[in-house]
């Protein structure tokens, strides 16, 4: 289905050409939503300035050539020269009858996109910050796939670096057995902390750890095997969280820091050869232009430390270089916490200066804001440690289950568990996705699970209610699948218009990396449905035709609601 704004844009292209000539065919008609009509086109204002006429006169000339026959009412010019556009109910009804509301047109030129997201660290607990990078990244991956782009998921896990010497020695000390496997895959922090404490207290352990790092970096086979074991335990843990969260990442998407080991030396050599990197205080550094510290001095991006080791920045340079040169993608989304903004700006500037990135390739840091506790500070446990994600999620499911006890649906114990999981996890994910990704929000399970308001349970409940209406219709053998749609009531027209806005929202989410726009849209849709349902009797409509039309409209809302929630990675239970 073409989006409503694409349809209008095409009509404007024809009108602009007819009125002002071929040069104006590609002019953006500046279509925006409007308080006074379905949409308004604002193109007359910039055009008037350019052509030296009055905006209202320009608007009138456009309208004279604008063919909206069978689509919209005759356009009206308002204010300084806005063109108000209002679809006819017949057009909206026919479109709903003939088009699949959840389908989008195949892109003429699909993009190849790397989405770098989740990225927890081996032998460490995933914290709520990783919840956001995981959930937002997954929603973007699902959205791009939905609209026909090619997505390459890359989970840039922290699986390399100096702590691994200490972690491998700890693994040898406690022994490679099922108990250790279980500890690391259930409570990785305990293992990490124990290693840390020993490293600080036991000189012999510290020495062993340091030589272990050297062996690891030197590619010693036995050490690599131990490292592999350790990473494997963490993988089990990550996968358990991903499956609990209904996240699409798999082992095939792992592309951790270690992936780039063999490129690091070449990256440094190349930067040096191109005159971009130089020695400073014993370390090899790049000073990308335009970055200065508070003291006004150029800021360094350290690519090789004075001890010869490589760090986080070198790995990211190697990763972006491969993404451009081997994967050949059009766009890379880095779904990572806002505090890393400077890191990415410097990495991107360096990679561009090195000539690795084609001119039109987009590198984008999708900045992720903080998750706060009720005290307004970054969410932590009472003891001050970062909160365990697995515990938070379990708590959400428990509370969702308690709330279900008040529902009058009679669930078997298995159903109750399943629905509690869909609602509890959905609530946490939705709360995260419904705020702009770069702002912070307060983690508050009560608010997330509230049945009313902009929450997952509210949307899921709307879906479950439609399912129940459709079940009743089926029980009464009422056919409506091909029924003509009638949009006589304002609430019906509003609902139809909202439904048809879905493909535009998908395009916006993908273009601007903003899943919260989908959340906002779905909330509007659910509200439009609630208003419709209050004002327009469905099963007891005045006539069989009206009843069939309203059932068909309701069924369409359900498919759009489910499609929209599915790109956010949230399901709708059969009953609630």
- Distances 232 to 201, 318, 445 between C-alpha atoms, Å: 28, 24, 32
The least CB distance from residue 474 to ligand ARG, in Å, is 48
Question: What is the rounded CA–CA span in Å between residue 113 and residue 115?
Answer: 6
- Distances 236 to 122, 239, 240 between C-alpha atoms, Å: 11, 5, 6
The correct pick among 68, 119, 285, 551 for binding ligand ARG (CB under 6 A) is 119
- Which residues neighbour 287 within 8 Å (Cβ) at sequence distance 6 or greater? 278, 298, 299, 300, 301
The least CB distance from residue 519 to ligand ARG, in Å, is 24
The least CB distance from residue 263 to ligand ARG, in Å, is 14
Q: Where are the beta strands (DSSP E) in 141-203?
A: 150-154
The least CB distance from residue 425 to ligand ARG, in Å, is 22
DSSP 8-state code for residue 252: G
Considering beta carbons, is residue 336 or 404 the nearer one to ligand ARG? 336
Question: What is the rounded CA–CA span in Å between residue 349 and residue 292?
Answer: 13
Considering beta carbons, is residue 89 or 137 the nearer one to ligand ARG? 137
Considering beta carbons, is residue 31 or 336 the nearer one to ligand ARG? 336
The least CB distance from residue 334 to ligand ARG, in Å, is 6
The least CB distance from residue 162 to ligand ARG, in Å, is 15
- Nearest-CA neighbor of 569 among 456, 410, 488, 489? 456
Question: What is the rounded CA–CA span in Å between residue 564 and residue 294?
Answer: 45
The correct pick among 336, 371, 393, 397 for binding ligand ARG (CB under 6 A) is 336
Planar angle of CA 311, 315, 316, nearest 5 degrees: 115
Place of tokens 């969410």: 379
Considering beta carbons, is residue 115 or 522 the nearer one to ligand ARG? 115
Question: What is the rounded CA–CA span in Å between residue 12 and residue 17?
Answer: 8
CA 429 from centroid of its chain's CA atoms: 11
Considering beta carbons, is residue 158 or 569 the nearer one to ligand ARG? 158
Question: What is the rounded CA–CA span in Å between residue 159 and residue 120?
Answer: 9
The least CB distance from residue 336 to ligand ARG, in Å, is 4
The least CB distance from residue 55 to ligand ARG, in Å, is 47
Given the DSSP bridges, would you call strands 150-154 and 112-116 parallel, antiparallel or unpaired?
parallel
Considering beta carbons, is residue 513 or 556 the nearer one to ligand ARG? 513
Residues 436-475 that bind ligand ARG (CB under 6 A): none
- Distances 396 to 52, 127, 369, 460 between C-alpha atoms, Å: 61, 15, 21, 16
- For residue 284, list its beta bridge partners: 279, 304
Interface region with ligand ARG, contact rule CB under 6 A, candidates 63-71, 113-121, 268-276, 446-454? 113-121
Considering beta carbons, is residue 341 or 511 the nearer one to ligand ARG? 341
- Nearest-CA neighbor of 467 among 420, 529, 400? 529
Instruction: Give yes or no for residue 322 binding ligand ARG (CB under 6 A).
Output: no
The least CB distance from residue 448 to ligand ARG, in Å, is 24
Nearest residue to ligand ARG, scored by beta-carbon proximity: 119
Interface region with ligand ARG, contact rule CB under 6 A, candidates 114-122, 258-266, 285-293, 534-542? 114-122
Considering beta carbons, is residue 158 or 163 the nearer one to ligand ARG? 158
The least CB distance from residue 357 to ligand ARG, in Å, is 15
Considering beta carbons, is residue 158 or 288 the nearer one to ligand ARG? 158
Considering beta carbons, is residue 317 or 576 the nearer one to ligand ARG? 317
> Do 335 and 133 contact (CB within 8 A), yes or no?
yes
For 549, the 3-state DSSP assignment is: helix
Site size toward ligand ARG, by CB under 6 A: 9
What are φ and ψ of residue 139, in 5° steps? -65, -40
Question: What is the rounded CA–CA span in Å between residue 164 and residue 170?
Answer: 10
Residue 100 half-sphere exposure, CB side, CA atoms within 13 Å?
Answer: 6
- Nearest-CA neighbor of 504 among 104, 88, 140, 142? 104
The correct pick among 61, 66, 75, 116 for binding ligand ARG (CB under 6 A) is 116
Question: What is the rounded CA–CA span in Å between residue 287 and residue 285?
Answer: 6
Considering beta carbons, is residue 92 or 319 the nearer one to ligand ARG? 319
The least CB distance from residue 118 to ligand ARG, in Å, is 8
Instruction: Give yes or no for residue 432 binding ligand ARG (CB under 6 A).
Output: no
The correct pick among 153, 156, 399, 547 for binding ligand ARG (CB under 6 A) is 156
Q: List the 76-78 sheet strands across, edge first.
A: 31-33, 39-41, 82-85, 76-78
Considering beta carbons, is residue 118 or 454 the nearer one to ligand ARG? 118
The least CB distance from residue 350 to ligand ARG, in Å, is 14
The correct pick among 102, 121, 217, 549 for binding ligand ARG (CB under 6 A) is 121
Instruction: Give yes or no for residue 316 binding ligand ARG (CB under 6 A).
Output: yes
Interface region with ligand ARG, contact rule CB under 6 A, candidates 79-87, 116-124, 440-448, 543-551? 116-124
Considering beta carbons, is residue 82 or 160 the nearer one to ligand ARG? 160
Instruction: Give yes or no for residue 158 binding ligand ARG (CB under 6 A).
Output: yes
Q: Where along the sequence are the contacts to ligand ARG (CB under 6 A)?
A: 116, 119, 121, 156, 158, 316, 319, 334, 336
């Amino acid at each position: 289905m073409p989006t409503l704004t694409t349809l209008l844009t095409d009509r404007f292209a024809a009108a602009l050409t007819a009125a002002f000539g071929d040069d104006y065919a590609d002019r953006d008609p500046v279509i925006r939503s409007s308080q006074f009509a379905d949409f308004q086109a604002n193109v007359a204002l910039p055009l008037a300035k350019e052509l030296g006429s009055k905006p209202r006169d320009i608007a009138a000339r456009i309208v004279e050539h604008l063919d909206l026959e069978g689509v919209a009412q005759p356009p009206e010019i308002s204010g300084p020269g806005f063109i108000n556009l209002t679809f006819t109910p017949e057009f909206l009804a026919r479109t709903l009858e003939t088009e699949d509301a959840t389908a989008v047109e195949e892109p003429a030129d699909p993009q190849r996109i790397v989405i770098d997201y989740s990225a927890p660290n081996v032998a460490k607990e995933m914290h709520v910050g990783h919840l956001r990078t995981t959930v937002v990244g997954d929603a973007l991956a699902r959205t791009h796939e939905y609209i026909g782009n090619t997505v390459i998921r890359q989970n840039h896990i922290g699986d390399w670096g100096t702590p691994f010497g200490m972690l491998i020695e700890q693994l040898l000390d406690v022994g490679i057995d099922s108990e250790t496997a279980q500890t690391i895959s259930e409570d990785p922090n305990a293992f990490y902390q124990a290693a840390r404490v020993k490293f600080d207290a036991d000189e012999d352990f510290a020495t062993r750890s340091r030589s272990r790092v050297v062996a690891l970096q030197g590619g010693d086979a036995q050490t690599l095997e131990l490292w592999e074991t350790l990473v494997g335990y963490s993988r089990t843990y990550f996968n358990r969280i991903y499956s609990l969260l209904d996240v699409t990442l798999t082992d095939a998407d792992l592309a951790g820091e270690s992936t780039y080991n063999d490129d690091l030396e070449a990256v440094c050599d190349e930067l040096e050869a191109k005159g971009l990197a130089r020695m400073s205080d014993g370390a090899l550094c790049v000073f990308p232009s335009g970055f200065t510290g508070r003291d006004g001095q150029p800021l360094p991006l350290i690519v090789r430390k004075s001890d010869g080791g490589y760090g986080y920045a070198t790995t990211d340079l190697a990763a972006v270089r491969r993404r451009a040169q081997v994967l050949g993608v059009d766009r890379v989304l880095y779904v990572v916490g806002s505090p890393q903004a400077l890191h990415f700006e410097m990495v991107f500037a360096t990679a561009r200066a090195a000539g690795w990135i084609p001119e039109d390739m987009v590198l984008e840091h999708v900045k992720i804001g903080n998750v706060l506790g009720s005290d307004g500070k970054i969410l932590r446990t009472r003891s001050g440690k970062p909160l365990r994600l697995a515990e938070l999620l379990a708590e959400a499911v428990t509370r969702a289950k308690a709330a279900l006890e008040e529902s009058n649906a009679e669930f078997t114990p298995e159903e109750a568990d399943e629905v509690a999981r869909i609602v509890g996890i959905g609530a946490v994910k939705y709360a995260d996705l419904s705020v702009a990704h770069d702002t912070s929000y307060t983690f508050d399970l009560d608010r997330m699970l509230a049945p009313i308001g902009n929450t997952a349970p509210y949307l899921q409940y709307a879906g479950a209610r439609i399912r129940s209406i459709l079940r009743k219709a089926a029980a009464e053998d009422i056919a409506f699948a091909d029924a003509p749609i009638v949009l006589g009531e304002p609430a019906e027209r509003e609902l139809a218009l909202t439904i048809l806005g879905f493909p535009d929202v998908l395009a916006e989410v993908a273009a601007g990396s903003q899943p919260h726009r989908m959340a906002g849209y779905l909330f509007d849709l659910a509200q439009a449905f609630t208003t419709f349902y209050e004002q327009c009797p469905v099963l007891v409509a005045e006539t069989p035709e009206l009843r069939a039309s309203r059932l068909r409209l309701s069924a369409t809302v359900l498919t759009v609601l489910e499609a929209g929630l599915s790109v956010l990675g949230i399901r709708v239970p059969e009953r609630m």
